[in-house]
């Protein structure tokens, strides 16, 4: 897997998600865009998939490795938080803070803070508080994890939330590769009977993914896009450089 050496590379953009395949579903195209711009990208999966309806943790690990190669990420790793029971505890905040200090991302992408799956919305708050904790000089972490560090920007991937995004990222050039990264999870999206009522049929995945990306693309005048929310108000100097035509 990219970046599995004993000294993982630092990254510019780190996507944090509850489960292996969450990133591929919500912001995989954006990671591809950032890689094309020359930025180093990484993924931190908080759980390993031991409680999933389909597949095993070992299968999910192999699939995550394949998806990481497709997305060209510099580093991917998984923590050991219990699948289906992610909790915002000090212990878990410290685990994430240790990764943040090692990888030192400038931008962190988190799940949106509302949703159907408790692991997802809990990971949003857990991830934010870990970002804050990672910058505390007296945090109870061994020095080998690195010096205190906080990301400059925290973004929330809002693809599956019914909210108006703050902005979208044009992923048109990478839409097919994004699809391939998701289909790397054969245990989840291959045709099978287990969990048939919970999972999108493989025959529908392409149509649904492209339709959703097309919807968000239309909001900003591009073909395919992924949506994000930021809590901060943006600052603008040059009004002539504002993107997206109004009428």
pLDDT at 5 over 60: no
**How much is the pLDDT for 4?**
43
Using pLDDT thresholds of 50, 70 and 90, give the confidence band for residue 41: very high
Which of 11, 35, 15 lies closest to 26, judged by CA?
15
- Write down the pLDDT at residue 3: 43
Q: CA 97, CA 122: separation in Å to the nearest integer?
A: 16
Domain ranges of the chain: 13-241
Quote the pLDDT of residue 198: 60
The token pair that represents 92 in the structure block: 């878990």
The CATH classification number of 13-241 equals: 3.40.50.10320
Express each pLDDT in 115-146 by its tens digit.
Answer: 889 999 999 999 999 999 999 999 988 888 88
**pLDDT per residue over 46-78, tens digit each?**
998 776 666 788 888 999 999 999 999 999 999
pTM: 0.91
Cβ count near 247 (within 10 Å)? 2
């Amino acid at each position: 897997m990219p970046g599995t050496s004993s000294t993982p590379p630092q990254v510019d953009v780190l996507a944090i998600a509850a489960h292996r395949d969450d990133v591929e579903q919500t912001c995989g195209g954006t990671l591809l865009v950032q890689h094309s711009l020359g930025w180093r990208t990484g993924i931190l999966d908080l759980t390993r998939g031991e409680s999933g309806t389909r597949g095993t943790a070992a299968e999910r690990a192999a699939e995550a490795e394949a998806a990481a190669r497709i997305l060209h990420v510099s580093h991917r790793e998984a923590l050991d938080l219990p699948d289906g029971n992610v909790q915002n505890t000090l212990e878990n905040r410290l685990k994430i803070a240790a990764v943040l200090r090692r990888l030192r991302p400038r931008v962190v992408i988190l799940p949106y803070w509302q949703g159907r799956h408790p692991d997802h919305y809990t990971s949003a708050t857990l991830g934010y508080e870990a970002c804050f904790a990672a910058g505390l000089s007296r945090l109870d972490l061994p020095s080998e994890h690195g010096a205190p560090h906080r990301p400059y920007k925290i973004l929330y991937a809002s693809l599956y939330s019914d909210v108006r995004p703050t902005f979208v990222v044009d992923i048109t050039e990478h839409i097919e590769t994004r699809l391939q990264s998701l289909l790397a999870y054969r245990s989840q999206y291959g045709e099978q009977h287990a969990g048939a009522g919970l999972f999108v049929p493989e025959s529908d995945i392409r149509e649904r993914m492209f339709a959703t990306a097309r919807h968000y693309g239309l909001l900003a005048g591009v073909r395919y896009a992924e949506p994000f929310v930021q809590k901060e108000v943006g600052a603008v100097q040059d009004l002539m450089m504002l993107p997206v035509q109004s009428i």
